[in-house]
Amino acid sequence: MNKFNKFGFTLIEILISLSLILLSFLIIYRIVFTFQKNLKDLEKEIKNKEILFNFLYSFKSEINGIVDFKNLKLDKKEIGFVAYIQDLDFPVEITYTVKGNAEETLIRTQKNIFSGYTYSFPVLTCQSINFLFLKEENWDYIPETDKTIKGIAIELNYSGEKIFYPVLLNIIEEKKEKNEKKE
C-alpha cells in the first residue's frame, strides 16, 4: 500500500473485484439458462405423455364399444370396427391405420354410418406401432379367422419406451347367443 493513498483502492483491486463479479454473474446466468431449458424439455415430455394417455383411454373406450364381430377388420397395421362412442347415440365406423416408414403415424378415421360423412386425423407419431390380437391365451400380430378374438392390443415404441396396452373385448359371441336361443 502506498503511504500517500491510505483510504482508496488500487486499480488492481478494482479489476479483480470486477472480474469476480462478472464471473459470478456468468455462473448464475448459466444456471438459470440450464434450469429454464430443462424445464421446457420436462413440460414437453409431460405434454407428450398426456397426449399418449388420453389416446390410450379413448382407444380403450372405443374398443369396449365394439358392436359385433362381423364388422371387425384386423391386421398388424390396421384395425377397423363399428362401435358406439362417447357422446353419440348411434354407432360409427372407426379405422386406425399405421402409415410411414422411419417414423410411423397412427391415423384415426371415423365414418358416420347413416350420413357417410368421414373425417381423419393423425393421433400419434412413434418409432413403431403394431396391433396384436388375443386368441385363447396368446397375443399375436396376425389374427386367425377360425379363432375368436378375445382382445386387441396396441404396441408402441414411443420416445424410446416400449408400451403394450391390451384391451379385452366384451362382445358376446354370436355362436353362444345362437346356442342359448336353441336351448
Q: List pLDDT tens digits, range 15-26.
A: 999 999 999 999
Q: How far apart are alpha carbons 165 and 143 in whole angstroms?
A: 17
- Where would I find the H helices in the chain? 11-64, 174-182
C-alpha cell, 136: 385363447
- Tens of pLDDT, residue by residue over 40-84, are 999 999 998 999 999 999 999 988 888 877 778 888 899 999 988
Interior/surface letters 59-81, b for 16+ CB within 10 angstroms, e for the rest: bbebbebbeeeeebebebeebbb
Going by pLDDT thresholds of 50, 70 and 90, the confidence category of residue 176 is: very low
pLDDT at 173: 52
